[in-house]
Amino acid sequence: MSPFQTLKLPNGQTLDNRIAKAAMDENLADTGQAPSTALLKLYQAWAEGETGLLLTGNVMIDRRAMTSPAGVVLEDERHLELFRQWATIGRSGGAHVWMQLNHPGRQIMANLGQQAWAPSAVALDLGSFSKMFAEPKPMSESDIAEVIQRFATSAALAEKAGFTGVQIHAAHGYLISQFLSPLTNRRTDQWGGSLENRARLLLAVVSAVRQAVSPQFCVSVKLNSADFQRGGFDADDARQVIQWLNDQPLDLLELSGGSYEAPAMQGDARDGRTLAREAYFLEMAGELASVASMPVMVTGGIRRLAIVEQVLDSGIAMAGIGTALAIEPQLVKRWREGQDSHPQLPPILWKRKPLAALANMAVVKFQLNRLSRGRKTRPQVSALWALIVDQLYLARRTRQYRQAMGK
């Protein structure tokens, strides 16, 4: 199938082609956690690149619960005009722009000074790096109800700002993913135990979001095909959750995998399996797509047009590209023009896997920062240098965040 065919979604909306810019952590909010001028400039570069869909990086539903001190928050109308500008720029090239909504749960850095929420008091296991994260507190019924409402409120605000859809992040070890996994969800009430109970939060959030927005507004979910941890959320669990999601009016399901503990989205697993260099989750996603009634998108390492075509030929409706578009924002446009471009970053082969994962993210953010200043990317940048620059930036933003939050 040609990647440049349109895709009609269940709610009647149409995407111009089958390639999406997948979500990446931009970490480019201003000090008020609103979209900054740099963030808008970055999306201008992507808007001109001719993808059918632009998925934003994490937009947090609660400023007390951040994946990064430089993250964007949408919990009320205080910065709605800046969000309108973001949506307008993103849509300027004809793409749909969907806001990814997220709550990190236990994946919160301890130095932000906030209480981490989680289904159960199970801390992150990252060896010597574990203490970098806050100790999680099990959520009460009222905490869970608040989170569900916050997802719905943020979705309604995204529609008001001019975004054409939202993606509910239920993957990569964040809060909803934590509820889904038996490793992190040890509850004995209606929110834990059986898979039906562990999936209850996801289904409640999807339902609340759908009720808060109009029928023509797109609602999607990002789900792990597996956690890639022994005893965790696996492909059989994902298959059952997809069947439950079939009963919800969803417009797209993105399949990914992994978490902070097992960053499979970067090609690393903890359960012994080896992931391919490109389209990490393709084989598993192809099997899962067969039970999905909504279009399915797969993301993870894709950087060549031939792989996009392979993804689409396998029965997947859409291919998501992240890192390659961080290096070359005009990639899809160049493919359409017949150029054989396949941007990639040098592999980071450090022995300490958590540090290598941090360095990998830092190298990607280095490219995004250059694009946000109107500069050319530098894929060959030293991973160590990028990590140092990123850590210094995060330290400064952490001080600013703590000051703003009165910590």
Q: What angle do CA 373, 377, 380 make, to 5 degrees?
A: 140
Q: Return the pLDDT at 262.
A: 59
Q: Return the pLDDT at 86.
A: 98
Give the global pTM: 0.93
Q: Return the pLDDT at 84.
A: 98
The pLDDT profile of the chain, 407 residues, written as one tens digit per residue, is 899 999 999 999 999 999 999 999 999 999 999 999 999 999 999 999 999 999 999 999 999 999 999 999 999 999 999 999 999 999 999 999 999 999 999 999 999 999 999 999 999 887 877 888 999 999 999 999 999 999 999 999 999 999 999 999 999 899 999 999 999 999 999 999 999 999 999 999 999 999 999 999 999 999 988 766 777 888 899 999 999 999 999 999 999 876 666 554 444 443 334 334 445 456 777 788 889 999 999 987 889 999 899 899 988 999 999 999 999 999 999 999 999 999 999 999 898 887 888 899 999 999 999 999 999 999 999 999 999 999 999 999 999 999 999 98
**Assigned fold of 7-345:** TIM Barrel (3.20.20)
Q: Return the pLDDT at 273.
A: 40
Domain boundaries, the chain: 7-345
> Inter-axis angle of helices 80-91 and 37-47, to 10 degrees?
20
* Strand-pair category, 318-321 with 136-138: unpaired
Q: Return the pLDDT at 259.
A: 66
> Inter-axis angle of helices 235-245 and 200-212, to 10 degrees?
30
Distance CA(287)–CA(268), nearest Å, equals 21
Distance CA(32)–CA(400), nearest Å, equals 9
The H-or-E segment that residue 390 falls in is helix 383-404
Contacts of residue 155, Cβ cutoff 8 Å, sequence gap at least 6: 99, 101, 166, 209, 212, 213, 217, 219
Q: Return the pLDDT at 328.
A: 97
Length of the chain: 407
Handedness of CA 14, 16, 22, 28 (dihedral sign): negative
The SS3 assignment for 15 reads strand
Over its C-alpha atoms, the chain yields an Rg (Å, rounded) of: 19
Q: Return the pLDDT at 210.
A: 98
Q: Return the pLDDT at 278.
A: 44
Tokens at 126, concatenated: 């990252």
Distance CA(321)–CA(303), nearest Å, equals 7
Q: Specify the amino acid at residue 295.
A: P
Distance CA(296)–CA(317), nearest Å, equals 5
